[in-house]
């Protein structure tokens, strides 16, 4: 995060704008709208500045930039057409520990002004850190079209109810449940938009009277193989509504950054040969949190129903009549193969796919004869430690030694690395990657050089 997003109150606070032209006008309008005590310094001023000064809305400082102009300032904006002057203003502000915005020079600025969607008191700001201002403007235009004008009225009305909600609902879950119903009420929003405040009060009283205890529930959410862009929309909605997030080590930091900030996070990571929290304790944790009325999300890498033991967790919840839901995710086989340029099926290479757990000793005997058959793709999950045994069994049961294989490390993430070779080399190749890694065996791997894009 190059810039920390911050909304600050400028009402009645002295701010300095250096520049008197068209660009400075745009900055002045924003500062005046925020109620700043605005001083503007320049050699020449546009008619707009002269009008504002005559109306007593700002103070003009006529002349070359003078460092004394910064006295008692909270914010400085340099918006002249002379880069040297702008830099002088920025250096002076930096020395006095005052935030400074530089027009057209974000790399030297200590503060930037984002594109704004104003639904006061609701404000949405979009910034590219100065790297792509046109992109920020295009996003702002899209958001302007999406966000109804009455959102400001709804937010203002909600602000008047906060103290009452805090008094009537003692737990955070109850309050959140009420507010979700409040903001999702189409009748309330439309009534406020029409200016019918008595009717809005009636609807609000109905919401207060009908607000039940926040029910405990568990959502089993597949986080996908790593890339946050592969998280489903429904999965995103669930993790942003959760009171408690229970997650494993295959959930990427990019995904966790999307979790609501005040949600409790519980790490129950697992890796081969080591369980931070045993599975029965995870089951009990989900049950206990839900019984406390919490909205719990069990966040799993990949898809929770493919070697994720999600079924076991839901069985415990079902026995205790805890409401639950499942949000599937893109499984590691699909995501890692796609990001590696390896189609799992292909008319000329494979007519089926087999997803196989690599925990060979714990999961019992596998049908190696069928796994070694031609015209299929094998994907081994958690198989890195057993790679040599996988190689031996497949060769013993008739798979050809030159069958292409790929090992995908940290699949779909920015750290993804793919090592390819043949089945005869699998044990050796497994020493070149680290966990988490996926093993793909099949002639489809030979298409990687043609189809790879990552």
* Residue numbers annotated as active site: 248, 270
CA-closest candidate to residue 128, choices 109, 111, 138, 114 = 114
> For residue 8, is it left (φ>0), alpha (ψ between -120 and 50) or beta?
beta
CA-closest candidate to residue 169, choices 123, 208, 121, 125 = 208
List Cβ<8 Å contacts ≥24 apart for 357-363.
357/307, 357/381, 357/382, 357/383, 358/382, 358/383, 358/384, 358/385, 358/386, 358/390, 358/439, 359/272, 359/386, 360/386, 360/389, 360/390, 361/386
- State the residue for tokens 């790879």: 452
Cis? peptide before 121, omega within 30° of 0: yes
How far CA 143 is from CA of 134, 236, 372, in Å, comes to 14, 19, 53
Cβ-contact 296, 286 below 8 angstroms: yes
Quote the CA–CA distance of 34 and 20 in Å, as a whole number: 19
Cβ-contact 144, 118 below 8 angstroms: no
- State the residue for tokens 């490390």: 409
- State the residue for tokens 């103290």: 163
The token pair at 106 is 């974000």
Residue 234 phi/psi, 5° resolution? -65, -35
The token pair at 207 is 């919401």
Quote the CA–CA distance of 438 and 383 in Å, as a whole number: 7
């Amino acid at each position: 995060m190059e810039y920390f997003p911050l909304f600050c109150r400028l009402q009645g606070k002295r701010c300095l704008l250096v520049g008197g032209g068209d660009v400075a006008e745009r900055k002045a309008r924003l500062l005046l709208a925020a109620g700043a005590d605005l001083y503007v310094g320049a050699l020449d001023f546009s008619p707009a500045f002269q009008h504002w000064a005559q109306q007593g809305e700002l103070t003009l400082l006529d002349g070359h930039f003078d460092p004394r102009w910064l006295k008692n300032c909270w914010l400085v904006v340099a918006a002249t057409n002379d880069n040297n002057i702008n830099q002088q203003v920025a250096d002076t502000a930096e020395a006095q520990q005052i935030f400074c915005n530089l027009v057209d020079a974000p790399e030297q600025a200590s503060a930037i002004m984002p594109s704004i969607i104003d639904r006061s008191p609701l404000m949405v700001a979009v910034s590219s850190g100065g790297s792509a201002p046109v992109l920020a403007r295009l996003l702002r235009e899209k958001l302007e079209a999406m966000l109804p004008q009455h959102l400001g009225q709804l937010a203002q009305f909600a602000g008047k109810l906060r103290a009452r909600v805090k008094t009537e609902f003692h737990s955070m879950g109850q309050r959140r449940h009420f507010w979700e119903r409040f903001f999702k009420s189409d009748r309330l929003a439309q009534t406020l938009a029409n200016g019918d405040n008595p009717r809005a009060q009636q609807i609000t009283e109905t919401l207060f009277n009908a607000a039940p205890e926040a029910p405990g529930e568990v959502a089993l959410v597949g986080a996908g193989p790593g890339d946050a862009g592969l998280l489903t929309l429904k999965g995103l909605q669930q993790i942003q509504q959760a009171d408690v997030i229970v997650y494993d080590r295959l959930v990427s930091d990019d995904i966790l950054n999307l979790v609501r900030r005040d949600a409790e996070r519980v790490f129950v990571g697992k890796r081969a040969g080591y369980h931070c929290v045993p599975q029965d304790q995870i089951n009990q944790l989900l049950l206990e949190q839900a019984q406390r009325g919490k909205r719990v999300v069990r966040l799993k890498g990949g898809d929770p129903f493919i070697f994720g033991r999600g079924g076991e967790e839901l069985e415990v919840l079902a026995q205790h009549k805890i409401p639950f839901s499942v949000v599937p995710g893109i499984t590691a086989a699909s995501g890692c193969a796609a990001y590696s340029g390896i189609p799992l099926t292909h008319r000329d290479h494979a007519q089926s796919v087999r997803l196989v757990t690599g925990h060979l000793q714990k999961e019992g005997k596998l049908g190696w004869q069928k796994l070694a058959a031609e015209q299929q793709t094998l994907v081994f999950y958690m198989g890195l430690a057993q790679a040599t045994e996988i190689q031996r069994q497949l060769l013993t049961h008739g798979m050809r030694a030159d069958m292409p294989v790929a090992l995908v490390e940290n699949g779909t993430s920015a750290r993804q690395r793919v090592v390819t070779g043949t089945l005869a080399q699998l044990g050796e190749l497994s020493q070149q990657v680290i966990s988490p890694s996926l093993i793909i065996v099949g002639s489809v791997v030979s298409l990687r050089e043609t189809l790879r894009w990552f």
